[in-house]
Structure formats: structure tokens, C-alpha cells
Chain A
Amino acid sequence: MIRFVLSRLVLLVVGLAAASALIFFTLRLLTGDVAQVIAGTQGTAEQVAAIRSSLGLDRPLPVQYADWILGLLHGDLGRSIVTGSSVASQLGQKLAVTLPLAGLSLVIGLVVGIPLGVVSAIRHRRPSGTAISVVAQAIAAIPAVWGGMILIAVFAVTLKLLPTQGFPSDGWQDPARALRSILLPALTIGLIEGAVLLRFTRSATLGALNEDYVRTAASKGMTRTQAVVRHGLPNVLLSVVSVLGVQLAALLVGAVLVEQLFALPGVGRMLVSDVGVRDLPKVQGELLALTGLVLILGFVVDLVHRAVDPRLREPGE
């Protein structure tokens, strides 16, 4: 087990290093640079060149890369090349919107998806089970953007219960107001995510239903539901956990889309606008932080999965 942890740790570090190189050099492929943006539409070539050199953008790429990595090793995520503000603080501000959004969406998804998935599998030959499955199918097919628009049209425009867009400018100072602002966006991602998880849980539970140990338990006098819940559920949950890693990336995608639709000042919108302005040091810091977050979460999920699921052990352990 220790060897597994260590090897995964080494791979994590290698992964981060590879990610940093990938991010840095891919971003440099973008046309145009921030010096042109600062110089504006009336800027002359000399003005652009002067700005470029004052920002250190004319140094050779490997030098700029080494500079960045050195800073990272000191724990400095870098500074915006346009305003000089620290990437970490900006990221922190925006994560204060995106993380609660992603978290609430995940909670909604799990709460809706897993129980209903299990129920729908247990009742798969009855109308109620089929109905749940069909509705879940339909919801999982809805594009997040359209789903959000429908929710806005119903709850915000017609019923006027919730704000159509935006996030309070004083952030979480008024938690109730902030929560109302992320409710519709979280529902948008969460319900669709829930439908996906529902289908996955349903198929995993159907699989468990056919397993010998469940039939054995049923023959011992438990109802099928009890048998599945007591014996099958741990395996079902494990399968769901293994899929969550992928779903995290999907949540981030969903977050970028709904942040745009609901005009939320989160990480997604910040990335889009920073790339648009070519504030590369800021973008690379943000991308690396996000990639690192997902990699670390994946690492943790792997460890948990490995520690708990006997089927994944390599032969000889």
C-alpha cells in the first residue's frame, strides 16, 4: 500500500510538471499579446515594443518558463501582467463563487441521482422505475445552457422568485442573497448531473441485483431492496466514486457555461476574459491551479478507492 501511495505521489508531481509545460507553451501559441491590448487601437509599433519590453515579454521563452517555475516553487502563483495583482488573490475571490456553485451542484446531483437511481433499478420492471429512468434520460439530454434559460424563464421572469442573473457585489456578506443568486445556476448543472448519475447508479445497481451475493441474501429472507442496500450498495457507491473524477471536469465545464449565462463573477468568466486580453501569466497560474486541484482530487479518490475496493488490488497483494 505504501508503495502504491508513493508511486502515485511521484506520478502526481510528474503530472503537475508536465501540465505546467503543456499550459505554458500552448498559451504561447495564441496570436496577439497583451502589449497590443494596452497600446490600444491608436498605438504605434514603438509604443507596443516599449510596453512589451517593459513587461519582460521579449525574453526567450525558456527563460520566461524557468522564471515562472522558480516562482511556483516558492509558492508564488504569479502576478497579472496587466494590473500586477496576485493571481492567488484573484483566484481566491472568484473561487468564492465557483466552488460553492460546483459544490451545491454536486450535492444536488448526488441527492437526486443516487437514491432515485437505486429505486429505479429495484423497480425496473414496474412503471415507476421505467418512468424515473425515462425522465432522467430526457433531463440528461438537455443542454445546460437551454436548461438554465428555461429555469430563468420560469422562476425568474414569470414567477419572479429569484434573480435572473448576477451575483451580489459584496459577495457572501449577505449569505441569503448570495445563495439565491447561485440557486438557479446550481439547479441547472445539478439536475443534469443528477440525471447522469442516476443512469449510472441505475446500471450499477442493476448489475448488483444480478450478483450472487444479493440473490443469496434474498434467499435468506431479506427483501430485494434490503439485500441491495445492505450488500450491493457499497459496490455501487464505489463505482459512482470512480466516475466522480471525470464528473468533476464536467462540473467545471458546466460552471463556465452557466457563469456566462447567469453573469456570475466566477473562475470560468475570469479565464475567458483573461485569455481574451492575453494576460498569460495570470491565465497560466489559474490553469495550473485548477489542473492541480483536479489532479490532487483524483489522487485522493484513487487512494480511497484503492484502500476500499479489494477488486482493484494488483495480483500478489
Chain B
Amino acid sequence: MSGVETVEEARTTGRRTRRAPWLAELLRRPAGVAAGAWILVLVVSAVVSSFWTPHDPFEADPASMWQTPSGAHLFGTDGIGRDIFSYVFAASRTTVLVAVSAGLLATVVGVGLSALGSLTARWVRESMAVVIDILIAFPTILIAMLLSSILGGSLFVVVTAVGIGYGVNISRVSRAEIRRVGRTDYVLAARASGVGPAGILGRHILPNVAPVFVVQLSLAMATSILAEAGLSYLGYGASASTASWGRLLNDLQVYIAIHPGSVVWPGLAITLTVLAFNLLGDAIREVSDPRLRTASNRADRRRNHS
């Protein structure tokens, strides 16, 4: 008796968190809006810089090295006379490319692994958990190092390394979430009424775990940008022919003692972008996860769950 009711309720509750009010909630959060706006700026920069930049980002002009910001060079010039603003502007393309590709790859790997884990027998799950632990112990850096030693440093290396590395992380985080959802009343009820594992996965587990994945996607994007910066800094990421914020940090780092100001621009760009993805992820999480709702919503919740 109560099983049927709770399944109905579960279906309704599950769906409610996915309708339009969700988006309205999101827009009510200033942090989320600001984050979304910055990401929009980023995407627009990426598109515009494919056609036009104030100067050629790669044009070296040794006669005008290390100029301070001015009308001609908004962010000044670097050690070989390149316009830093044009370079940072053009590098937004790389950032968007890496974020989207790595984020998607990480989510696919993460969802795939955790779905596999939840569908199979315990011994398969346990051994997979160990394999995953090993892969986690192989930090992204090492994967990238090995890949780039074989293939040469490139964005492909960064995306693959982050995709696998973070995807494995995601699967671990979601494993717990899937297990939690798998023990809720409505799933137990569904199982009792004969719904098969695939049905359980498709109709109950995935929709309820979806918000977690969306959040993870946003975080994966943030992580991939940080990873690209670090890997390009070490030389395993973007090649010198690709504009990247991480590479610029690498180029400028040697001069930190005599030109400390120049590193501000690429570093700030990375920080603001990562912050934007994190804030967006947080906003989505707040909107979709009932446990994080503040007291004003608690009455609502209690009505639905008791």
C-alpha cells in the first residue's frame, strides 16, 4: 500500500526538481548570475578572438619588451614584446575548448563507471573500486606526463588526462550517491514491485542523481582549467603555438623577481573563470539538492516527505 503511494510520490518529487521553477531559482541567486555572466563573456571572447585581436598574439617585437599597460597595450607587453592583452584574449579559446571537452569526457567516464558499478554484482563492484583507487593514485599529472612523453605536449593530452583522472573521481563521488538513492524507500518499493535493474537505473536512480552529475560537470570544467594551467606550466600541455593562460604563466614566471606585475593578467583570468564554474556548480547544487535548502523551504519539504 504505502509502496505504491511512495512510488507515485517519488515520481512526482523527482520531476518537480527538474521543471522550470528550477531555472527561476537559479536566476534568483546573484552568485549564479554573476558566474553565468562571466562564462558568457568567456564564450564571446573565444568566438570574437577567432576573428580579431587588437594585435597578433604571437607577434614578437623585441624593441618594445616589458612595456607597462598603456593605450596601445592594455596589459602591457612581455619579455619578447608580445601584447599580453591580445594573448590572454586569444587564449580564452583554448580555455573554452579544454573546459568543454574535458568536462564532457570526465562526465561520460564518471557516469559510465558508476553506472556499471551499481548494476553489477558485488565482487565486480569491489574489484572495480580497487582499480579506480589505483587510477586515482595515478595523479592526473603523471597520466599527462606519460601521455605527453609519448605524444608530445598538447591540449589532447590535457583533455584526456583530466577526463580520465577527474572522471574516475566523479565515479567515486557518485558511487556513494547512487548507493544512497538505491536505499531510499521508493527504489526499494520499485524493486519490490518487480522493476528490473535497468528500469531502476533509468527511472529512479539517474534522474535523482542527475543534479549531482550536473554539479560535477561544472566542477570538472573548473578542474580542467586548473589542470591545463598546471600542465602547460610544466610543459605537458599546450604547445608554444597554442595560446594558453597556463603557458603564459610559464613564460612569465622566470621574471617574477623583476616584473612581478605581468603575471597578474593570466592568473586573474584563470581564477575568475574557475570561480565562475565553481559558483555556477554551487548554485545548481543549492537549487536542486533539497538537503541544502534553507529554513524557508523546510516547511515545503516536510510536507512532501513525511
Q: Indicate if A touches B (C-beta under 8 A).
A: yes
Top 6 A-B pairs ranked by shortest CB distance?
A146-B267, A294-B137, A141-B275, A141-B274, A153-B260, A143-B229
Whether the Cβ atoms of B141 and A253 lie closer than 8 Å is yes
Interface-located stretch among A26-34, A53-61, A73-81, A96-104: A26-34
Which B residues are CB-close (under 8 A) to A142? Answer: 267, 270-271, 274
**A155 nearest CB across to chain B (Å):** 12
Q: List 13 A-B contacts (CB under 8 A).
A: A26-B146, A29-B146, A31-B150, A125-B294, A141-B271, A143-B246, A143-B249, A145-B253, A149-B256, A206-B291, A275-B146, A291-B134, A291-B137
Whether the Cβ atoms of A146 and B133 lie closer than 8 Å is no
A268 closest partner in B (C-beta): B141
Measured in the bound complex, the distance between the Cα atoms of B246 and A206 in whole Å is 35
List B residues at the A interface (Cβ < 8 Å): 31, 126-127, 129-131, 133-134, 136-142, 145-146, 149-150, 169, 172, 176, 222, 226, 229-230, 233-234, 246, 249, 253, 256-257, 260, 263, 266-267, 270-272, 274-275, 278-279, 282, 285, 291-292, 294, 298
- Option from B150, B169, B257 in Cβ contact (under 8 Å) with A29: B150
- In the complex, per-residue mask of A120-133: 1 if CB is within 8 Å of any chain B CB, else 0: 00001100000000
Whether the Cβ atoms of A143 and B230 lie closer than 8 Å is yes
B129 closest partner in A (C-beta): A11
Which A residues are CB-close (under 8 A) to B149? Answer: 30-31, 275
Measured in the bound complex, the distance between the Cα atoms of B268 and A142 in whole Å is 8
**B16 nearest CB across to chain A (Å):** 19
- In the complex, per-residue mask of A276-307: 1 if CB is within 8 Å of any chain B CB, else 0: 00000000000100110011001000000000
Which A residues are CB-close (under 8 A) to B141? Answer: 252-253, 256-257
Which A residues are CB-close (under 8 A) to B133? Answer: 15, 245, 294-295, 298
A210 within 8 A of B: yes
Which A residues are CB-close (under 8 A) to B150? Answer: 29-31
Which B residues are CB-close (under 8 A) to A140? Answer: 274, 278
Which A residues are CB-close (under 8 A) to B127? Answer: 11, 14
A38 within 8 A of B: no
Which B residues are CB-close (under 8 A) to A246? Answer: 136, 169, 172
Measured in the bound complex, the distance between the Cα atoms of B246 and A149 in whole Å is 13
Measured in the bound complex, the distance between the Cα atoms of B126 and A31 in whole Å is 35
List A residues at the B interface (Cβ < 8 Å): 7, 11-12, 14-15, 18-19, 22, 26-27, 29-31, 124-125, 134, 137-138, 140-146, 149-150, 152-153, 157-158, 164, 199, 203, 206-207, 210, 242, 245-246, 249-250, 252-253, 256-257, 260-261, 271-272, 275, 287, 290-291, 294-295, 298
The verdict on A206 contacting B271 (CB below 8 Å), with A11-B130, A140-B278, A149-B249 known, is no
The verdict on A143 contacting B267 (CB below 8 Å), with A18-B131, A253-B230, A272-B234 known, is yes
Whether the Cβ atoms of B142 and A138 lie closer than 8 Å is no
Which A residues are CB-close (under 8 A) to B130? Answer: 11-12, 14-15, 18
Which A residues are CB-close (under 8 A) to B140? Answer: 253
Measured in the bound complex, the distance between the Cα atoms of B279 and A143 in whole Å is 16
- Option from B230, B260, B298 in Cβ contact (under 8 Å) with A257: B230
In addition to A19-B137, A142-B270, 16 A-B residue pairs with Cβ atoms within 8 Å of each other are: A11-B127, A14-B127, A15-B131, A30-B150, A137-B275, A143-B226, A143-B230, A143-B246, A143-B274, A145-B233, A145-B253, A150-B267, A153-B263, A158-B260, A294-B137, A295-B133
Whether the Cβ atoms of B139 and A252 lie closer than 8 Å is yes
Whether the Cβ atoms of A143 and B292 lie closer than 8 Å is no
Measured in the bound complex, the distance between the Cα atoms of B272 and A31 in whole Å is 38
Measured in the bound complex, the distance between the Cα atoms of B172 and A245 in whole Å is 11
**A207 nearest CB across to chain B (Å):** 5
Which B residues are CB-close (under 8 A) to A146? Answer: 229, 249, 263, 266-267, 270-271
Whether the Cβ atoms of B134 and A15 lie closer than 8 Å is yes
Which B residues are CB-close (under 8 A) to A137? Answer: 275, 278-279, 282
Measured in the bound complex, the distance between the Cα atoms of B291 and A211 in whole Å is 9
Whether the Cβ atoms of B139 and A138 lie closer than 8 Å is no
Whether the Cβ atoms of A203 and B292 lie closer than 8 Å is yes
Whether the Cβ atoms of B291 and A207 lie closer than 8 Å is yes
**A251 nearest CB across to chain B (Å):** 9
A199, A253, A261, most chain B CB atoms within 10 A: A253
B127, B130, B272, B291, most chain A CB atoms within 10 A: B130
Measured in the bound complex, the distance between the Cα atoms of B173 and A246 in whole Å is 10
Which B residues are CB-close (under 8 A) to A15? Answer: 130-131, 133-134
**A238 nearest CB across to chain B (Å):** 12
Which A residues are CB-close (under 8 A) to B292? Answer: 203, 206-207
**B288 nearest CB across to chain A (Å):** 13
Which B residues are CB-close (under 8 A) to A206? Answer: 291-292
**B39 nearest CB across to chain A (Å):** 13
Whether the Cβ atoms of A149 and B234 lie closer than 8 Å is no
Whether the Cβ atoms of A145 and B271 lie closer than 8 Å is no
Whether the Cβ atoms of B271 and A30 lie closer than 8 Å is no
**B293 nearest CB across to chain A (Å):** 8
Measured in the bound complex, the distance between the Cα atoms of B275 and A143 in whole Å is 11
A298 closest partner in B (C-beta): B133
**B161 nearest CB across to chain A (Å):** 11
Measured in the bound complex, the distance between the Cα atoms of B275 and A138 in whole Å is 6
Whether the Cβ atoms of B249 and A145 lie closer than 8 Å is yes
**B181 nearest CB across to chain A (Å):** 14
Whether the Cβ atoms of A261 and B142 lie closer than 8 Å is no
Whether the Cβ atoms of B271 and A249 lie closer than 8 Å is no
Whether the Cβ atoms of A144 and B230 lie closer than 8 Å is yes
Measured in the bound complex, the distance between the Cα atoms of B258 and A164 in whole Å is 12
Whether the Cβ atoms of A260 and B233 lie closer than 8 Å is yes
Whether the Cβ atoms of B137 and A295 lie closer than 8 Å is yes
Which A residues are CB-close (under 8 A) to B271? Answer: 138, 141-143, 146
